[in-house]
Amino acid sequence: MNNGYFSAIQNLLSEVSEKNRWAMQHCASILAECLEKEGILHVFGCGHSHMIAEEAFYRAGGIVPIRPVLVEDVMLHKGALRSSKMERDPSFAETFLPLQPFQPNDVLLVISTSGRNPVPIDVARYGIEVGMKVITISSHAYHSLISRHSTGMLLAETATIAIDNCIPQGDALVSLKGLQTSIGPGSTIINAAITNDMIVRTIELLHNRGLDVPIFRSGNIDGAEEHNELVMKKYRDRIEMF
């Protein structure tokens, strides 16, 4: 049985942790400051990257003030090819960004492994324009490729702080002898790990300052529903999906 995929993921997790050691702590500091000022974290991604927004939202063991920016036209369930086309549309972000309830004391996390398509770049740039701190997760291995954005910018260049997920170009991690195409994508696992690590570090910072951190409990544990209802109450006006 080939165990190349698990080995590749384990190696990548170690590489990402080492390479982004300072950046991850900086992200936690930014997010902790945001939460202290009663801001929230907005999370956006296109295609498979949108799953990170769902991973972080309403999550047992995660923080309450997280709002996923879910734009169906750049998700997969309305058509995979359509999603890819819309992500490259230089004017599509204008259709949903003005509707977002962003505030200057919030933080925006934008995920795009290639970091070269217009919509994620436009979302990140808009976040900066409205006064938010912007964190990006992308693969800096793609920086040798040309941006598809009209400015020539890559996602990492828009960020307050840019995390490198260290994914190789093409995403797939495993090569088999005689097979021309690599297999086993790694970006979703790595991006989810980065996001959860950032949240854990943030909780630790706030807890060490003696602050009460709003954390979700699993709904499958007795008494959790009452707890979750209480910690969500403060954010219902800002997070419409509760």
pLDDT-flagged residues of the chain (< 70): 1-3
For the domain covering 18-235, report its CATH number: 3.40.50.10490
pLDDT in tens, 110-126: 999 999 999 999 999 99
Here the tokens at position 89 are 């549309």
pLDDT in tens, 22-75: 999 999 999 999 999 999 999 999 999 999 999 999 999 999 999 999 999 999
Residue type, 148: R
Alpha-carbon distance 12 to 14, whole Å?
Answer: 5
Q: Which residue has the tokens 């217009």?
A: 118
Radius of gyration of the chain (CA): 18
Q: Which residue has the tokens 């490259």?
A: 88
The gap from C-alpha 169 to its chain's centroid, in whole angstroms, comes to: 19
Nearest Cα residue to 114 out of 84, 93, 90, 79: 84
pLDDT for residue 93: 98
Q: Check if the beta carbon of residue 196 is closer than 8 Å to that of residue 62.
A: yes
pTM: 0.97
Structural domain spans, the chain:
18-235
Collapsing DSSP states into helix, strand and coil, what is residue 233?
A: helix
CA 115, 32, 66 angle in degrees (round to 5)?
60
